[in-house]
Structure 1
Amino acid sequence: MQTQQQPRSDVRNPPSGVEASLFEDAPPHTLSSDETAQTLGVAVERGLSQQDAVSRLGRYGPNKLAEAAKLSPLILLLQQFANPLLIILMVGAAISAYTGHTVDAVAILVIVVINALISFWQEYKAEQSLAALGEMAAPQAHVMRDGQWRDAPAADLVPGDIVKLKAGDIIPADMRFVSAHRLQIDEAALTGESEPVDKNDQIFADVQTVLAERFNMGHMSTQVTGGTALGIVTSTGMATEVGHIAGLMAAAKEPKTPLQERIEGLSRVLIGAALCVVAIIIGIGILNGMDAIEMLNTAISLSVAAIPEGLPTVVTIVLTLGSQNMASKNALARRLSSVETLGTTSVICSDKTGTLTQNQMQVMRLWAGGKTWQVTGEGFDPKGTFLGADDTEANPEVEDDLREMLMISAFCNEARMIELDGRPAIQGNPTEGALVVAAAKVGVSRSDLKARNYVPLSHFPFDSTRKMMSVHTRLPEGEEYLVAKGAPDMILARATHVRLHGEEVPINDGNRAEIEAVISSFGNDALRTLAVAYRKISAGDLNHEDPERDIVLIGIHGIMDPPRPEVPDAVAQATSAGVRTVMITGDHAVTAQAIAEQIGIKTSDEQTVHVGAELDGLSDEELGETVKRAAVFARVTPEHKLRIVAALQANGEVAAMTGDGVNDAPALRKADIGIAMGISGTSVAKDSSSLVLLDDNFSTIVTAVREGRRIYDNLRKFIRQALTANVAEVSTILFAFLLMGADPLLPLTPLMILWVNLVSDGIPALSLGFEPAEPDLMKHKPRGRDENIFSGGLKEMIIIRGLAVGGLTFYVFNTALERGQPLAYAQTLAFATLICAQLWHIFDARSSRTLFTKNPFDNRYLLGAVALSAALSLLAIYTPVGNYILNTEPLSARHLLEAIFIAALPTLLLSGIKELFGFKFL
């Protein structure tokens, strides 16, 4: 039985610092404003004295976020040379220079510097996310000192300062509101709430109240969208909620990507293989009494032959090409390694709002005059219809109840439709905007009603007590009405009649049950409800203290942020590819579960739904078991997201995490691949991510996963091609030492090997990055995090084909010597044979099966690269410059043709055997 562990103690502790020290007994949201002021030692009507403020500033420090230490560009550049592959090459260059092979030394060093510069540039241009977090802070604050209001730098605020806020202000520090008038704050970046939050100065006694529901608190870096407020600063700097997140970000170290781990493993294999071969060759040389200089030359050749010098460069180029392809499909890679990581992803932790959903509130159903209507359309687009029980389209000219309900919805409304970047958009509250759009679908708008002489006489705005708003209106005929909308329970409590089938009837137990059933039905489908009502007003009959009495209920809207139309198919594609989707959201569990069921994330009762409060009581081991079957995590905090990602990674999963807010940044950094929203995302989220979705669309992630898999497959094809060449080069030299007796000769010079690795083989191998995806690419399960890069028989294919090419190359070299050819001519013939063998082999490297299964004309880049490589190699053999640098000699036409056709034998024979007998290792 598993040992029960104590729950984590750091899950939802308040930020360290001011708040923790001053509010040990009770956090400020559980205190009255007077108690908060008393705890902080301040009189609200006078504020702090300037002397006290200076003293507190010295005690608590400036109201700023701590900045992360940055490496200097020089140190960052020098770190790139710590790559083991580059170290071996630098040793080879030093030996070349010591033995007088200056051209070899310079050529090797150029390759080393190019690789280091490419890696340096990729890291250098990555921006610091903590710096972006700091930039979100307010520069100024309107603060009371010594009984006088003054503007002061936000960095000078201290606990106890009294701050005044108005619409448009960025809140400069965490604060407890003393007073709030129609105050609304956009906290989406901090809590994930999709709409501005109504704030007040009431007490919330529950210590465990989640951050999103602390309605009497304002938090640093969030924005006031409406109303005014007075607040007492309770926390500053790193003690604020944003500071707490900054601390999590600093602690959340980015993990190495699977590709980085595999390349490091490959480096170790190559280094080990190189050292073993060098030891064998030197041992043979010592036994045969070879000269020390010759031994050094041999060591140089072997170190150059054993290492694919172009590997870091080509990997970077292939990833760059992949990132460009992704960018054309709305996925912008900020870190090249993330391009491949997508192909390894086994679980996608996705936010709900704006990623899985449209982030556009929409009326989905409505009940008007006793009838229920389905509403079609998408988001804020005013195109759509109303469908009745038998799917017949409503005629607004006939359906009076529906038309009048929509007229009231449009008129009793503060939102309006606008066009933004050529698309319909809403200015104002998104929920109110949904009503405006619904009315527009039958041709009704507030401006049109005003043009038709519907005149607003007075407004009764929404407040958190009445939970409704109303407008006193005069109709064109001169009659006056009060039209209202608000929470259904509040409207129903004040309604005496209901409009049913064109008639106003008193509310009784029967029709009340019908109305409540509609509200319950909408709620069960995770629809947010708003009721619409009216009352005819006689002269002098309007009570301004209680305007919405004796109203008539006419209808109820069912509103939600619906799933994107393409998301269910994308989730299904991910599932078929073995990639699980988990919704992690700050929204309520009921809403999240309904969306998850609609789009196919939750398809069975075995898949569980959890809220953040549950995670507080789970140990890390218990959470590890929970995440295996979880489909939805709702009402979560930044700490919860971090723990979820860590639990998935501990289970061996490769986790992708999406997010758009400041609260998502720590998890974005912790995840194997952080995915930020390009449209709705904050700069902090983007800077903490590896990938940015330019369209905020979940289906783009699935497209990117497919691209990541294709890129990884193509990288394996490149590695097969490159390492086959390296094995061939090493084995050519090894065969010479084993078979040529006491005085072996080098079949290839170091610069010939460099030429093969970088030019004649490197250029065609690079074109493998353009290979189209295999047909069954998205039908396989994701690769395991620990899967070896040589899995699937790749190692055997490289060794067998490399030895075959190496043996053939040595045979051609030795035969030329036996026929009396000079050493330089024999080396050139071996050089040509090796080049031709690799050009033949690249057509086989295109597939994990055989070259006979692929159309050679599918990849036009490959054909062009092979032609270019062949042309450059001919220049290396037949021009004076090539002869001087590479020590080659022009070959006769007969010998060149022999090299071309003989070089085809390993590829054709081994591919033929594999095609006939199905050996995976060939």
Structure 2
Amino acid sequence: MGKTIVEVQLEVPYHTLTIAETEAQLSTSIAEGLSTKEAEARLRRYGTNELKGDGGVKWYKVLWRQIAHPLVAVLLIANALAFATSQFAEGGVISFIIITNAVIGFYQEFSAEQTMEALRNMSSPTSQVIRDENRTLVPNNQVVPGDIMIIEDGDVIGADCRLFEVFNLETDEALLTGESLPVQKNLDQIKSAEQPLGDRLNMVFSSTTVVKGRAKGIVTSTGMATQIGKIATTLMNVNTDEQTPLQKRLNKLAYFIMVAAVVSVIIVFGVHSFRYSTEIAIYAISVAISMIPQGLVAIVTLTMAFGVRRMAHAKAIVRRLSSLESLGAVTNICSDKTGTLTESKMVAVRMWFPGDGFYRVSGTGFIPEGEIFYQGHTMNSKPQIQEEKVTIASGSDQLLRALQAAALCNMAELRKTNHPETHGEWTAIGDPTEIALQVLAYKAGVPKPELIENGFQLIAEFPFDSSVKRMSVLYKTDSGEYFIFTKGATERVIGRCSHYRHGESEIPLENEKADSVQPDFKSTIMDSVDALAEQGLRVLTLSYRKFTPTPGVDLVHGLDREEVESDLVFLGLVGIYDPPREESLPAVMRCYEAGIRVHMLTGDHPSTAAAIAKEVAIIPADTNVKTSPMVMSADMFDSMTEEQIDALEELPRVVARCSPNTKVKMIAALHRRKLFVAMTGDGVNDSPSLKAANVGIAMGQSGSDVAKQAADIVLTDDNFATIVDAIAEGRRMFYNIQKFIQHLMSGNIAAILVLLAALAVKDSEGDSVFPLSTVAILFMNLCYSSPPAIGLGLEPASAMSMKEPPRSSDQGLFTFEVIMDMVVYGVSMAILEFAPFIIVLFVFEDGEMGYRCNTSYSPSCDGVFRARAAGYAAGTLLILAHAINCRDIRESGWTWSRLKTLHHNKALWLSIVLGTLILIPIFYIPGLNKNVFKHLAITYEWGLVFASLFIYTAFVELYKLIKRRTMA
């Protein structure tokens, strides 16, 4: 296969070219963007948009971690001792175990690291580009020269771009220029090709961040051809050597085991009066090896990698492994409404105007097909016969001005595609709320392009700001008039209005004179807002005013927002419906079953938020919005002191008109109640709350890059149900790790107890008789402990996992119950493994122990070899049966309903079946049994083995029954 040649991107001084020249140079269209086919061709031609040598998974580091581990160190010491004492069979097997574990561990961990890196890249900064005439979100590494990039507040810019549309854009370029102040961008062509980077104001550069404003640009350079690529620096490094709290705890466990192994070696030599011999040394090695759960590290890695993959499949990208462990402890979820609990498929369905009353708008989605009907002063939730169809020609000037405000104070774009596959279909680019307003304007016959064509020229823009909840634009007409249009939350707009529009008149709000208008008009407005909001509609207020510029003031950069957004004229209200997602109600109900409380923190009106909250069961259907403490406005919540908040019987379930600071205050209140919080966010200002939460969850579709970088988890579908699925996966993973650690450690406890107890069984020379050979111990760990433990790590979630309350956030793996179980199971297995060995040796073989039966076979060792085989068979079958017990910490593992679910976990039942079958060659292949495993084929001993298995199963069932009845 030929080697792919990546073409070097030409160094063209794009800042010196006009927009049309740049467009021609890169063979693109600022209106239509590239086609998907052309983008793929350019990706092959120029390579991916990423920096070389900026990290990635290092195979040698992963391999070193397999070797430089305390548990492996014990095996290496044992291996050296085995060869030093001429025990070549044992030494060979230990070498094989070390190499096999290293290879398997390396493969598992390297694959897991690669998966994690790929997933991190998926959640890394993304770019909005126009492809096939549609706005689409692509990973930064898929951006190519010629792409049309859409840049918004909070973005990390994905490539170098020549700007062709700019509104109040400021970027932080300190990474490149060292300049601490944001740089304000414009479209002016620059004549000098040698202009310093900091003065190339018509360009933006890869890895710099947008401080405010928005823009569109043509991608000119990607990857190593960008300015940041030229100095070989990257802003977004990810620490792939991150260790989670779980991994740190397991490392401590490994050191504890290592110390315990050393102590056990001392005990062995102490029992033999510190007399050294080859047999004593080998026995000490065996005891030390028996303490090592050899597959522990690899199984933890595999389980976490499997969990990460499952979450990615469920559309939740894990950015920090520690969040996997935290998810299972979540007690409260603070979620946004729009796009998370709802579909974010907004459509304007109602309007209200002073003096006129309510209007209904027909049609769905962003297809601009529908009509406007007048309903009167009472809003009807369903179409009525007495409705009157309204057009711009038949409507009032007030309606026309309101529709102009909806269309012009709006950055969304609506158009039909020319793409061959979607020709004639309507597509939309922009915020869903603004798209809904734009569709409304098209339905009414006053689309934005037509208004622009008829003389409206955009002069300045004040983008939506979550702190003021408003957006304003300044337009100039062909006649020389200036108009300011403002839209936003009613509470934040009405306070900036001094008049309201009634027909062609502008009437003062403070001293109404008209007979047709109620005396307290502000209360009338708020009553209308409530009427719309109670229908679950998101309510926006439209306003405007004529503007007279002050001579000499720069209208683009010199206007003060406070001054612009004052003395406005109230026009009317628009009600926008955003239906709840189908999955939201079941997901919230799952949360209640799991003991998780859901809070909705939204920027919407309290009545709107409460209506949706009722639909998805966050609050009861009969909740009175005005009197219930479960629904609260952000103003009220923010005005409360910590003492007042802590005195509340319950924190509010719905907080409306929320600001970023409100979210942080809510998290702090939850933390003071010792609760564990997951918080969703999508904006730049959500970063503090995402970092303050125990688990920060960013929106992958609507979220800003800054929010994604601050989050632990990124949702690729922005869906609340995905959060619940992620919590379920976090619980599953935690409990599965608990299960396989219990399985491994109880098996190791059993092995060490058997070996230490056997110190009392001595031959004629006073040396201890091995109940298990070194090879048998290693083989038991490798083939009978590790494979079922892997199966337990992959165990599907229990049906009860999301019907139990969250575990305590400070609850580790080793709870009192888990430690008690490990000891009880370990001791019982040790007794039932040692019993067949003792019974065969002292009852059936009359205590005949031969001479030096630990290292080689002779006829006098027949009894020892048969007893050893019986003990080994019992130990292996017990550890395999124990895997069934470990599937549930309290419920029986042997009921038919549990056993029939084994087919869902092929890894577990295959490990049990194959482990049982492997016993046959071990016992009955000549040479392998005597020379390697140091035991013989058995016959009648199987009766003792199965008796041990039966007694153990009965004991475990009785033990679990007692736990179910006595433990909460």
Give the TM-score normalised by structure 2. Answer: 0.62
Give CA deviations for 1:522-568 in whole Å, capped at 9, x if unaligned: 5564944345999xxxxxxxxxxxxxxxx999963134767645445
Q: Does 1:579 align with 2:596?
A: yes
Hey, what's the Cα distance between the residues in 2 that align with 1:572 and 1:888?
A: 59
In the alignment, which residue of structure 2 is the partner of 1:776?
800
Q: 1:155 aligns with which of 159, 176, 181?
A: 176
- Select 1:851's aligned residue among 890, 893, 909: 893
* Distance (Å, rounded) in 1 between the aligned partners of 2:256 and 2:574: 65
Cα deviations by residue, 1:819-872 (Å, 9 ceiling, x for unpaired): 253544433332221111122222222222223444311121243332122223
Question: Counterparts of 1:185-584 in structure 2 under 5 Å?
Answer: 220=210, 224-225=214-215, 257=244, 259-260=246-247, 262-264=249-251, 266-267=253-254, 270-271=257-258, 274=261, 277-286=264-273, 290-335=275-320, 338-350=323-335, 354-359=339-344, 361-363=346-348, 365-367=350-352, 370-372=356-358, 380=366, 389=379, 391-394=381-384, 398-400=388-390, 413=407, 415-417=412-414, 426-428=428-430, 430-438=432-440, 457-459=454-456, 493=499, 495-497=501-503, 508-511=514-517, 516-517=522-523, 519-521=525-527, 523=529, 525=533, 527-531=538-542, 556-559=573-576, 564=581, 566-567=583-584, 569-581=586-598
Shift of 1:664: 5.3
Q: Which residue type is aligned with residue 456 of structure 2? A: H
Tell me the equivalent position of 1:231: none
Superimposed CA distance per residue, residues 378-412 of structure 1 (whole angstroms, 9 cap, x where no aligned partner): 87587999998454325798443799699997787
Aligned to 1:165: 186
- In structure 2, relative to structure 1, the CA distance for the partners of 1:903 and 1:552 (3 Å cut) is closer
Alpha-carbon distance, 1:705 to partner: 0.8
Q: What stretches of structure 2 of length at least 5 have no aligned partner? A: 1-52, 126-139, 141-153, 165-172, 191-195, 218-226, 463-470, 488-492, 506-511, 546-567, 849-861
Say if 2:599 is the partner of 1:605. Answer: no
From the superposition, tell whether residues 404 and 630 of structure 1 become closer, same or farther in structure 2 (CA, over 3 Å). Answer: same
Alpha-carbon offset, residue 700 of structure 1? 0.7
Query: Tell me, what secondary structure is at the counterpart of 1:744?
Result: coil
3-state secondary structure, aligned to 1:851: coil
Whichever residue aligns with residue 540 of structure 2, its letter is T
Deviations 1:115-135 (Å, cap 9, x if unpaired)? Answer: 466456655764699999996
Q: Take 1:94 and 1:657, find their aligned partners in 2: how far apart are those partners? A: 53
Query: Is residue 290–residue 743 contact of structure 1 (8 Å, CA) maintained in 2?
Result: no
- Given that 2:311 and 2:726 are in contact with CA atoms closer than 8 Å, whether structure 1 keeps it comes out as yes
Residue 356 of structure 1 deviates from its aligned partner by 4.2
Match of 1:839 among 872, 875, 880: 880
Maintained 8 Å contact 1:843/1:851: yes
Aligned counterparts of 2:756 and 2:809: Cα–Cα separation in 1 = 35
C-alpha distance in structure 2 between counterparts of 1:173 and 1:561, whole Å: 44
Q: CA deviation at 1:736?
A: 0.8
For 2:285, give the aligned amino acid.
I
Check 1:161–1:375 CA distance in 2 against 1; reply closer, same or farther (3 A cut).
Answer: closer
The equivalent position to 2:919 in structure 1, one of 863, 867, 873, is 873
Q: Which amino acid aligns with 2:725?
A: T
Q: Could you say which residue in structure 2 is the equivalent of 1:910? A: 956
- Distance (whole Å) between structure 1 residues aligned to residue 381 and residue 503 of structure 2: 29
AA partner of residue 921 (structure 2) = L
Match of 1:545 in 2: none
1:731 paired to 2:753 = yes
Match of 1:891 among 917, 920, 937: 937
Q: Corresponding residue for 2:48?
A: none
Give, in angstroms, the shift of residue 576 of structure 1.
Answer: 4.2
* CA distance in structure 1 between the partners assigned to 2:474 and 2:750 by the alignment: 81
Question: Do the aligned partners of 2:264 and 2:284 also contact (CA within 8 Å) in 1?
Answer: no
8 Å contact kept, 2:340–2:720: yes
Which letter maps to 1:768?
L
Letter paired with 2:340? T
Mapping 1:611-760, distance limit 5 Å = 629=651, 653-660=675-682, 672-682=694-704, 685-686=707-708, 689-738=711-760, 740=762, 742-760=766-784
CA–CA separation in structure 1 for the residues paired with 2:82 and 2:646: 54
In the TM superposition, residue 280 of structure 1 has moved relative to its aligned partner by 3.8
User: Residue type matched to 1:103 in 2?
Assistant: G
| Local SS of the residue matching 2:802 | helix
Residue 331 of structure 2 aligns to which amino acid in structure 1? S
Q: Which amino acid aligns with 2:700?
A: G
Q: Distance in 2 between matches of 1:779 and 1:168?
A: 64
TM-score, normalised by the number of residues in structure 1: 0.65
CA–CA distance in structure 1, aligned partners of residues 267 and 966 of structure 2: 30
State the SS of the aligned residue for 2:678.
strand
Structure-2 residue corresponding to 1:793: 817
- Distance change in 2, residues 1:220/1:842 (3 Å): closer
Report the 3-state secondary structure (helix = DSSP H, G, I; strand = E; otherwise coil) of the residue aligned with 2:901.
coil
Query: CA offsets per residue over residues 448-498 of structure 1, 9 Å max, x none?
Result: 999xxx99744365866996799999xxxxxxxx99986586999474527
- Given candidates 86, 102, 105, the residue that maps to 2:91 is 102
Q: Aligned partners of 1:341 and 1:528: how far apart in 2? A: 37
Partner residue in 1 for 2:785: 761
Structure 2: distance between partners of 1:97 and 1:134: 61
How many residues are matched?
Answer: 754
| Cα offset, 1:702, TM superposition | 0.9
C-alpha distance in structure 2 between counterparts of 1:404 and 1:167, whole Å: 43
**Structure 1 contact 260–337 (Cα < 8 Å) conserved:** no
Which deviates further from its counterpart, 93-102 or 112-121?
Answer: 112-121
Aligned position for 1:42: none
Matches within 5 A, 1:18-167: 78=64, 83-100=69-86, 101-110=90-99, 111-112=101-102, 114-115=104-105, 118-119=108-109, 122=112, 126=117, 136=157, 139=160, 155-156=176-177, 158=179, 164-166=185-187
> Corresponding residue for 2:40?
none
Post-superposition CA distance 1:663-695 (Å, at most 9, x none): 656765675544333323455654554433121
Are 1:173 and 1:221, in contact at CA under 8 Å, matched by a contact in 2? no
Partners of 1:849 and 1:814 lie apart in 2 by: 33
Q: Per the alignment, in what secondary structure is the counterpart of residue 801 of structure 1?
A: helix
Over 3 Å counting, the alpha-carbon distance change for 1:401 and 1:509 in structure 2 is farther
- Write the distance in 2 (CA, Å) between the matches of 1:103 and 1:260: 31
Distance verdict in 2 for CA 1:567–1:803, change over 3 Å = same
2-structure distance, mates of 1:292, 1:498: 109
Q: Amino acid of the residue matched to residue 285 of structure 1? A: H
**How many angstroms apart in 2 are the aligned matches of 1:142 and 1:161?**
17
Bigger shift: residues 685-694 or 753-762: 685-694
